[in-house]
Structure 1
């Protein structure tokens, strides 16, 4: 089968690789769509150590079941599925607690040396598959994994009823976090980003206010939009010192920040501001199995609007070129999705 193989920093090759036999409790999926994650791009650049060459990246994927193992009994050929991209043991301490995403024996597809879905086919455990409604396109279903990241982050924000929420960073995770906030009975959603294009997408997806801190006084705009109080909740979706400080500075007294961004390892923040304003900070990482299932249900029911953030669909053959583009000159691209050229118009 054809796959895109990561050979080393900035080296991707479209190759024929061996087809892997399906194990008893697995299903073989023909990959219909797989999103390019920011972590994939960082891995491509060799910055993270989370991609060990040679391997196949890709963890935001969905597709069609084409073969079943002898003990796979819940699915059938032709089923449209999205995939929870973590194979968990179900037996370790963390799995017994229900935190399968923290499984001590987990294998994450498209990470480290575990092959992922930038390929024509992939074998995954049947337990990791969730149905996709016929009304949901494969491109949209490929957003399930980052949507689950955002969903967990917003869940950590607590009760949002009647609250004013700020999203700092209108990339994929920030926009998906905003889509999750839209499901709550909030008073106002403010989105901040340096890109006017991304802010336009945010408004199209339902943001009430768009702020470009590179062109206006960010703090004053926040005060103007909140009657001088500051926001109740600030979601940081970049992972950099400047945007963390921005999010913290926008909070009202006793406000809550949720940090979803995971980029810069060490930052400096105003500890005195946190203490004297009695601010709360929640970190949020990945998502649980149940959360992924809930997100799949919401998307299948048409309750979350995410399509505008898909900037472009490409074929597997085009993927190496777009990794280079996303790494060096992304322009207005937000989410690029690799699709099956035989079934999806690109």
Structure 2
């Protein structure tokens, strides 16, 4: 079968490897589409904390079950599915509390001997497989995993209907976080970014306002003026230097910022803002099953055109081009899907 490897930093190759065998509690999925995620780009650049080259990359997937293990009973051959790609292992606070994202040890595609989703076939434990409604295409179904990140971020922010909400960053995670917030009926939203074409997608997803902060020295005050004041909640979906303090400056007294993006460099934090104004910074890590289930419901309801985040569909043989495109923001790329078994 074809499999997409990140061989080394910024080096992607497609190889032919043996189709994997399944265990008694696993299923084999014939992959239709796999998404290139921001965390995949971190692996591509050699920066990911636990997913290291060489590795079959990918954790977003949609496809059809073609084989099931002897102990599998909840799903069957022919089911159209996606996967929640994280597994708690060993004794941990996460497993004891039902929050798998808290697990002391987590297994994900691209770790140990679990191959990633960018291949003709992908093996998953039955417990992580989630059937897709018939009305949901594979292209939209593959967005369930990144949308679940946005759903969990909205939950951690405790966003209320009347809140004024800023989302800092219009990459795929920022846009799908916007979709999650809008699905909850929140209207007073603004999205900031440096790229007009990404902000156009935010408009299409229902942002009340968008703002390009490029070369805008006083953008924080400008954004506040556009929205009529400081913000109740700020969702940080770009891990760039200084962005946490920017979020604090946007917040009203008692407001809450949530860190959604993956950060690799230390951030300076203005403790005076936290203490004197009782502002909060909340961490946010992936999602749990209720978040994924809600994400699929949002997709099924089809009230928000989340498929607008998809800018490119490319065959597996062009995977290296896709990774470069996402990394370098080429060809107005937003969400790039890699297709298999066409």
- In the superposition, the TM-score normalised over structure 1's length comes to 0.92
Asked if residue 40 in structure 1 is aligned to residue 46 in structure 2, the reply is: no
Q: How many Å separate the matches in 1 of 2:61 and 2:84?
A: 9
**1:23, 1:223 → 2: CA distance?**
55
CA change 1:111–1:248 in 2 (3 A) is farther
**Distance change >3 Å, CA 222–CA 30, structure 1 → 2:** same
| TM superposition shift of 1:328 | 3.5
Q: How big is each residue's C-alpha offset from its partner over 1:194-215, in whole Å with a ceiling of 9 and x where there is no partner?
A: 1111111111110111111225
Q: Deviations over 1:149-185 (max 9, x none)?
A: 1111110111412111111111111111110110223
Taking the TM superposition and a 5 Å limit, the aligned residue runs for 1:152-301 are 152-214=152-214, 216=216, 217-227=218-228, 229-301=229-301
Distance change in 2, residues 1:274/1:112 (3 Å): farther
Residue 280 of structure 1 deviates from its aligned partner by: 1.3
Separation (CA, whole Å) in 2 of partners of 1:225 and 1:12: 43
Q: Distance in 1 between the 2:99 and 2:115 partners?
A: 23
Supply the distance in 1 between the matched residues of 2:321 and 2:112 (Cα, whole angstroms). Answer: 22
1:53 to 1:252, Cα distance in 2 relative to 1, 3 A: closer
Q: Is the 8 A contact 2:29 2:63 kept in 1?
A: yes
Deviation at 1:265, TM superposition (A): 2.7
Give the CA deviation at 1:241: 2.5
Distance change in 2, residues 1:50/1:270 (3 Å): same
Task: Give 2:102's aligned residue.
Answer: 102
User: Does 1:321 find its partner at 2:321?
Assistant: yes
The equivalent residue for 1:30 is 30
- Deviation readout 1:48-75 (Å, 9 max, x if unpaired): 3533343211101111000111111121
DSSP 3-state at the match of 1:67: strand
> Map of 1:306-317 to 2, 5 A cutoff?
306-317=306-317
Q: Structure 1 residues 248-257 or 268-277, which shifts more?
A: 268-277
**CA positional deviation for 1:93:** 4.4
Residue aligned with 2:65, SS: strand
Deviations 1:204-260 (A, max 9, x none): 110111111225542332332343x31111111102233323222111122111111
> For residues 266 and 119 of structure 2, what CA distance do their matches in structure 1 show?
35
Contact 2:88 2:94 in 1 (8 A): no
* CA-atom RMSD in angstroms: 2.0
In the TM superposition, residue 90 of structure 1 has moved relative to its aligned partner by 7.8
